[in-house]
Chains A and B, each alone.
Chain A
Amino acid sequence: MDYKTVLTTCAYCGCGCGLYLEVLDGRLIGTLPSKTNPINEGKLCVKGWNIHEFVQHPSRLTKPLIRKNGTLTEASWDEALDYTASRLKEIKEAHGSHSIAFLASAKVTNEENYVIMKFARAAVGTNNVDHCARL
Chain B
Amino acid sequence: MMKEQIQEHVKNLLAEGRIEGFLGLRQQGTDIGPHLFKSADELGDLSLGDRQDPGDSRYPLDKILSRLAFNYPTDTFGVLVRGCDERALQQLFTVSMLHRDRVVPVGFACPPELAEAHQCWKPFPEALVAGEPSPGVVGGEDAVGSQLGLLGKLQEWFDTFDRCVKCYGCRNICPVCYCHDCTLEEAALLPTGEIPPANPNFLMTRAMHMVGRSLCIYCGLCEEVCPADIPLKSLYRLVSKIVGQEAVTPEGLAARQETAGQSVDKAAAG
* Chain A residues engaging chain B, CB cutoff 8 angstroms: 1, 3-5, 7, 18, 20, 22, 24-25, 29-30, 32-37, 42-46, 49
Q: Does B146 contact A (CB under 8 A)?
A: no
Q: Which residue of A lies closest to B65 (CB)?
A: A3
Distance of A14 from chain B, by nearest CB (Å) = 16
Contact B34 A5 (CB under 8 A): yes
Instruction: Say which residue of B32, B71, B72 sits within 8 Å of A36 (CB atoms).
Output: B32
Can you list 6 A-B contacts (CB < 8 A)?
A20-B34, A35-B33, A35-B59, A45-B165, A46-B167, A49-B168
**Bound Cα distance A56, B166 (Å):** 25
Ordered nearest first, which 8 A-B pairs have the shortest CB separation?
A: A43-B227, A35-B57, A3-B36, A46-B167, A36-B31, A20-B33, A36-B32, A5-B33
Known contacts A36-B33, A43-B169; 14 further A-B pairs (Cβ under 8 A): A1-B21, A1-B68, A7-B33, A30-B67, A32-B173, A35-B33, A35-B51, A35-B58, A36-B51, A42-B224, A42-B225, A45-B167, A46-B166, A49-B167
B153-196 interface (Cβ within 8 A of A): 165-169, 172-173
Q: Does B56 contact A (CB under 8 A)?
A: yes
Q: Does B28 contact A (CB under 8 A)?
A: yes
Contact B67 A35 (CB under 8 A): no
Q: Which residue of B lies closest to A33 (CB)?
A: B225
Distance of B10 from chain A, by nearest CB (Å) = 16
**Bound Cα distance A24, B67 (Å):** 10
Contact B75 A1 (CB under 8 A): yes
Instruction: Say which residue of B36, B71, B75, B167 sits within 8 Å of A44 (CB atoms).
Output: B167
Given A1-B20, A7-B31, A42-B224, also A24-B71 (CB < 8 A): yes
Distance of A53 from chain B, by nearest CB (Å) = 13
B67-108 interface (Cβ within 8 A of A): 67-68, 71-72, 75
Q: Which residue of A lies closest to B31 (CB)?
A: A36
Chain B residues in 8 Å Cβ range of A3: 21, 36, 64, 68
Instruction: Say which residue of A24, A33, A37 sits within 8 Å of B68 (CB atoms).
Output: A24
B7-28 interface (Cβ within 8 A of A): 20-21, 28
Q: Which residue of B lies closest to A30 (CB)?
A: B67
**Bound Cα distance A30, B61 (Å):** 13
Contact A4 B59 (CB under 8 A): no
Distance of A1 from chain B, by nearest CB (Å) = 5
Given A30-B67, A43-B225, A49-B172, also A37-B31 (CB < 8 A): yes
